[in-house]
Amino acid sequence: MRIDSVHFRNRGSMFLRLFSAFAFPLFLLFSISSVAQMPTPAAPIIDAKSYLVIDSKTGHEIAAFNKDQPLAPASLTKIMTTYVVFKALKQGQITLEEEVTVSEKAWRTEGSRMFIEVGKRVKVQDLLFGIIVQSGNDASVALAEHIAGSESVFAEMMNQHAVSLGMHSSNFRNATGLPAENHITTTHDLATLSRAIIQEFPEYYKWHAIKEFTFNSIKQNNRNSLLWRDDSADGIKTGYTEAAGYCLVASALRDNMRVISIVLGASSTKSRSNGSQALINYAFRFFETRLLFKAGEEISNARVWKSEKLYSSLGVLEDLYITIRRGSYNNLQSQLDIPTAVMAPLAAGQPVADLSINLDGEELLRIPLRALEDNPMGKFWQITKDTISLWFE
C-alpha cells in the first residue's frame, strides 16, 4: 500500500505546492498481501440478550448486539475485582505472598466458593486463583476487605477504576456479582475492561487459562468450558444468576491475533459456550489484524522551514495495527494531510501531519504523524534564506 494522495492544508502558490510535493516522496509503506478478499457474511445469531466480539489489540468491533444495554453481570463482576487487585499488586500495595485473614463475612458469603475458613490466613495468590478459577465469592470478599477495609469501600474503588477506563455505563455495588440494586454493566464496558486486563497485566492474565485449582483439599474445575474445547481459548470468566442469566467473557489467540467475546443473558451454559465459540470462530475466519507501521520508523518526511535540518522524518510513536475484513488489505488506500509550510522548531513527538487509511471509500482510521526527532531553529543564514523564499509565497 502506498500513500495514494497528498493533501496540503491552507492555500499556497503553485511553486510552494509543487516544491512541497517533491519534498514528500510517495513510497511503499509495507508489503502487499496476495490473499484474495473473502465475502463477509453477517455475524451468527446467538442466544443472548447482548453480545460483542472485538479484536483485543485494536479494539475494533467485529460484531455486536445490544452492546450498550445495561444488564446484571453476575460473576463477570469479578473481572473488575481482579483488575483492582492487579493494580494493587503492580503499585506495591500488596504482594502475592501476603496473607489475608478470613473474616466471618467472607466465610459466610453465599454462592460459589473456594471454601476458605473463618479466622484462617490465606495467601493473596491463592485467593486470586480462587476467584479466577473457582469463581469464589468468599475469596472476592476476603480480598476486597483486605485491600479496602470493607467491601463497600472496595466497590467505590471498582467504580473509580471503571470511570478511568471509560466504562461509562457500569456501576458496581459489590465485589462478587451477587444481585444488588443498580449493579450493572454492558458488553461494551466489559470489552474495555477485558482489553485492559490483557494489556496491562499479561503476567497475571495467564492465570485465566488454568483449568482446575485445589484448595483445602477440594478440587474445582474452571467453569469456562471453552478451555477444554478450543485450544486457542485462554480466558476469561463465566457468570450466572437468575437475574443475569448465563454469561461468559471469552478470549482466544490464534496466529498472533487475539479476540474477545462477551455474551450476556444466555439461557443455558451450553448456549453461552456455543454462542461464544461461534463469535470467536466468525472473528478469526472473516477478519484479520495487520501491523501497519512500526514505532519509530519513517513513514514520510516533511520539508521544515527555518530549521537546522532541511527535512524531518515523520512516523508513529507506538506500533499501529488495523483490523480489517480478511483479504481486503490490497484495497486499503491512504491520504496524507499536511500543512503547506511546516516551520521550525519541531520537537520529537510533535504532530505534524495526519494520515488517513480508507477502505472502499470509508475512513477506517486517522492518525497523526509525528516528528521522530528534534529539529531546532537553523542558523541565521538558513532562517534568512527561508524567510526570503517564503516572501515569494
Catalytic amino acids?
75, 78, 135
Alpha-helix residue ranges (DSSP H) falling in 10-95: 14-23, 77-90
C-alpha cell of residue 186:
454492558
As a whole number of angstroms, the distance between CA 168 and CA 189 comes to 7
As a whole number of angstroms, the distance between CA 124 and CA 142 comes to 9
Three-state DSSP state, 98: coil
As a whole number of angstroms, the distance between CA 388 and CA 393 comes to 9
Alpha-helix residue ranges (DSSP H) falling in 61-201: 77-90, 104-108, 124-132, 137-148, 151-165, 187-200
Strands 332-339 and 351-359: antiparallel
As a whole number of angstroms, the distance between CA 23 and CA 388 comes to 19
As a whole number of angstroms, the distance between CA 248 and CA 269 comes to 9
Q: How far is CA 289 from CA 14, 64, 143, 311, in A?
A: 40, 18, 37, 32
Contact call for residues 374 and 346 (beta carbons, < 8 A): yes
CA–chain centroid gap for 135, Å, is 24
As a whole number of angstroms, the distance between CA 225 and CA 235 comes to 10
**Which residue, chain included where needed, has cell 485450544?**
231
Of 59, 151, 54, the C-alpha closest to 105 is 151
Q: How far is CA 264 from CA 65, 268, 329, in A?
A: 10, 11, 33
Q: What are phi and psi of 152, to 5 degrees?
A: -65, -40
C-alpha cell of residue 187:
458488553
As a whole number of angstroms, the distance between CA 282 and CA 199 comes to 23
